[in-house]
A = this chain, B = another copy of it.
Amino acid sequence: METSYIGKSIPRLDALDKVTGRAVYSVDVDLPGMLHGAVLRSPYPHARIVEIDPSGAWEIQGVRVVITGKDFPFTHGGMIKDQPFIAIDRVRFIGEAVAAVAAETEAAAQDAVARIRVRYEELPAVFDPKDAVAEGAPLLHEQQAEYRRGPNYQYVPGTNICTIRSFAKGDVQAGFAEADEVFEDEFYIHAVAHTPMETHAAAAQHSPVDGSYVVWSASDGPHRRNKELADALGIPINKVRILTTDAGGGFGGKGTIVAEAPAVALARFAGGRPVRVVFSREEELSASQTRHAAYLRLKTGVNRDGTLIARSADLLWDKGAYASKGPEVTYRGALTIFGPYRIAHLEVRTRLAYTNKQIAGAYRGFGTTQVTWACESQMDIIAHRLGIDPLELRLKNCLVENDRYINGQVMRGVGLTETLERASREIGWGTPKSPASGVLRRGRGIATMLKGTVTPTSSQCTINVNQDGSIILLTSAVEVGAGQKTVLAQIAAEAIGVDPSSIIVPNSDTLKSPFDYGTTSSRVTYHNGNAVRLAGEKVRRRILEIAGEILKTDPARLSLSCGRIFEEGVGERAGLKEVLSQKFVRGGMIWEEGFYTASGSPLLKADQGLQAMSSIFWMFATHAVEVEVDIETGVVKVLKIAAAHDVGRAINPMLCEQQIEGSVIMGLSNTLLEEFKMENGRVLNNTLADYKVATMMDLPEIVPIIVEARHPEGPFGAKGIGEPAAAPAAPAIANAVFDAIGVRIKDLPITPEKIRAALKSSGK
């Protein structure tokens, strides 16, 4: 079908506001009478709070609110309510909020915070999840039993195990017995920071009259955030209004309550004045959230011909001090430890362990990035050990259209093979590499992956057409910088038959915007896109009905294209504005709702018991890289990354390419540069001078490749793209390093020191 606006690289609707500095990010929120908040943070990784003397804070001019945890004794957490807004009688990581101040200026608030005296009694701390789950480890949450928690989040009483879950299919032991070879490896993936340009920030205002709160923040899921806050505070959801600001980067880091916590707590005591809390970069890097670090043990049985027979996995994740989204991140990650492959016998145990460190949360990939590191590294080990080309090994086992996933779900829209073929071809896979020269060695590596989306969830929108034909698309899908608004406007434009420039997409206001599950799990294009497509089709039908009435003809003979109404066999009849202004003489608008839920889709029919693993769509990606390793310095330089992504259908190819490029950079940065330098639970490198993120200088040639295996239920065939792009880079690079110098790095990041040490110990 010919499309007018789908598949077109139109510029982003929000581009002009952003490049001209008109966008209002959460750090820019400025309100009449606004106070500025600052937070006193714990210097100890684990301690009892013996006494707090806030009197010094009141000596600073302009101080209006000084609070400690006892003043606002609520706990939050979307899955397990284990986290106080402000520490109450115990701190569990360096950087935890202990007290907070709101003052007329930020300087006064910072000065005041520094004058609060706290007496601590230090407690033994634990920093490594392996130590945390060992017998006799100091406990972080003795009172786990008291926490309100979701039904699926089982813990182990008397331990630091926050959640434990397992899953099995087939007979893994029989599988291992049957296999020709069994591979056992342990991999480690480290924590990294989201490092958005915009640090966490929120403003909050409390009404002393009705007890309601208004919160301004760049939350990626405003309708879940208001429920979380309402649940935490014990007030109705309609008393928490989230006004979504523009977002200066999400990557999962805006997926829960962070800066909102001190802002809301301070606002409660500010006599109706709003309070804004803006995290410094130091706070962002040591007191916000990180990616979950993990130990990933894989045991895989394989036949000599490369057929995967069985896999057993044991995953241990580093939670940091509080649950946040960890229970879901780690379980959903665990379920994809088997990769995009057909394996008959499977089992996985996943444990999430509390440690006295900064909280880990959702991070682009939602657990998939971690397991892909292990899965795809081991695939390379298997290929090399069996003497099979790594590409061939993957092609032999990989899922294809109409294969059944491990939950029995028939998979549709599977472009995996094409991503493998195109990425490898682009990198020159199978052709001769340039020979070693001096201390430089070249190698190529490949890694692939699959990721599902949280299922079932729902999205709703309304499309309002004014009497002059100008259009408002109302959605709570948050623009986190990936072009969500533009993609949805293109879908609306296509479905209705108008130019996307006639559509505006305001930011969400939970009091007024329709429900959405959130900009998470790469779900917006698919879910909100479907809702928008449905609403758009209703709008088009309604317009044609009205046009039929005004033009006195059968609507079935009419069509709408580029905002003009055409009649079959007659040609152009009228403009949209002309027709609507005649219809709505006394005012009025067309207002149609679109609702999409994955629930009940025939695509989700699955074998019994495994529905929790279903995903309404699956995304596939392959990265192929060429690296150059300096065997003297150990420096790995990535020369080229070809990143092939199956997006179902690229609504806006430019935006897809930008997503791929951005996340390839992120993956490369994570793999080679980023690392928290820690000492007894303290982040030593909490500035961007010390916490190294890839810059333009570090970038290779990046070739984004869009694969379009159209999804039968996606809007115009589209799936998602945001998350998977970050996952395959690390194993692809590690595999290329192995190809170049024959050493296998199993723990991230891949640093020159590790390369040199590995070369040395392997005697190369």
Chain A 229-281 interface residues, beta-carbon cutoff 8 Å to B: 230, 236-239, 272
A236 touches B458 (CB 8 A): no
What sequence of 0s and 1s flags, for each residue 170-207 of chain A, a beta carbon within 8 Å of any chain B beta carbon?
Answer: 00000000000000000000000000000000000001
With a CB–CB cut-off of 8 A, which chain B residues contact A272? Answer: 22
How distant is the Cα of A475 from the Cα of B344 in the complex, in angstroms?
56
Q: Return A549 CB to nearest CB of chain B, in Å.
A: 12
What sequence of 0s and 1s flags, for each residue 505-538 of chain A, a beta carbon within 8 Å of any chain B beta carbon?
Answer: 0100101111101000000000000000000000
A587 touches B515 (CB 8 A): yes
How distant is the Cα of A470 from the Cα of B30 in the complex, in angstroms?
29
Q: Return A576 CB to nearest CB of chain B, in Å.
A: 11
Chain A 410-467 interface residues, beta-carbon cutoff 8 Å to B: 454, 456-458, 460, 464, 466-467
Asked if A606 is at the interface of the complex by the 8 Å CB criterion, the answer is: no
With a CB–CB cut-off of 8 A, which chain B residues contact A33? Answer: 30
B237 touches A470 (CB 8 A): yes
Q: Which of chain B's residues has its CB closest to A23's CB?
A: B209
A515 touches B591 (CB 8 A): yes
B458 touches A587 (CB 8 A): yes
Q: Which of chain B's residues has its CB closest to A22's CB?
A: B209
How distant is the Cα of A504 from the Cα of B509 in the complex, in angstroms?
14
B515 touches A470 (CB 8 A): no
With a CB–CB cut-off of 8 A, which chain B residues contact A502? Answer: 236, 238
Asked if A227 is at the interface of the complex by the 8 Å CB criterion, the answer is: yes
Identical copies in the complex: 2
Asked if A50 is at the interface of the complex by the 8 Å CB criterion, the answer is: no
Asked if A468 is at the interface of the complex by the 8 Å CB criterion, the answer is: yes
B586 touches A470 (CB 8 A): no
With a CB–CB cut-off of 8 A, which chain B residues contact A239? Answer: 470, 504
B466 touches A587 (CB 8 A): no
- Given the interface pairs A237-B467, A468-B230, A587-B224, the reply to whether A512 lies near B512 with Cβ below 8 Å is yes
How distant is the Cα of A586 from the Cα of B616 in the complex, in angstroms?
15
B588 touches A458 (CB 8 A): yes
Q: Which of the residues B224, B230, B514 comes within 8 Å of A591, measured between beta carbons?
A: B514
Q: Which of the residues B17, B210, B515, B591 comes within 8 Å of A593, measured between beta carbons?
A: B591
Of listed A17, A237, A474, residue having the most chain B CB within 10 A: A237
Q: Please list the 6 inter-chain residue pairs (A to B) with the smallest Cβ-Cβ separation, ordered nearest first.
A: A30-B32, A236-B470, A238-B470, A237-B466, A512-B512, A515-B589
14 extra interface residue pairs, beta carbon distance < 8 Å, beyond A20-B209, A237-B470, A512-B513: A22-B207, A31-B32, A32-B32, A236-B469, A236-B502, A237-B467, A456-B586, A472-B511, A506-B511, A506-B512, A509-B509, A515-B587, A515-B589, A593-B593
Residue pairs across A and B with Cβ atoms less than 8 A apart, 23 shown, are A17-B207, A22-B207, A223-B587, A223-B589, A224-B587, A227-B467, A227-B468, A230-B468, A236-B466, A236-B468, A236-B469, A236-B502, A237-B470, A238-B466, A238-B471, A456-B586, A457-B587, A474-B511, A474-B512, A509-B509, A515-B588, A591-B593, A591-B595
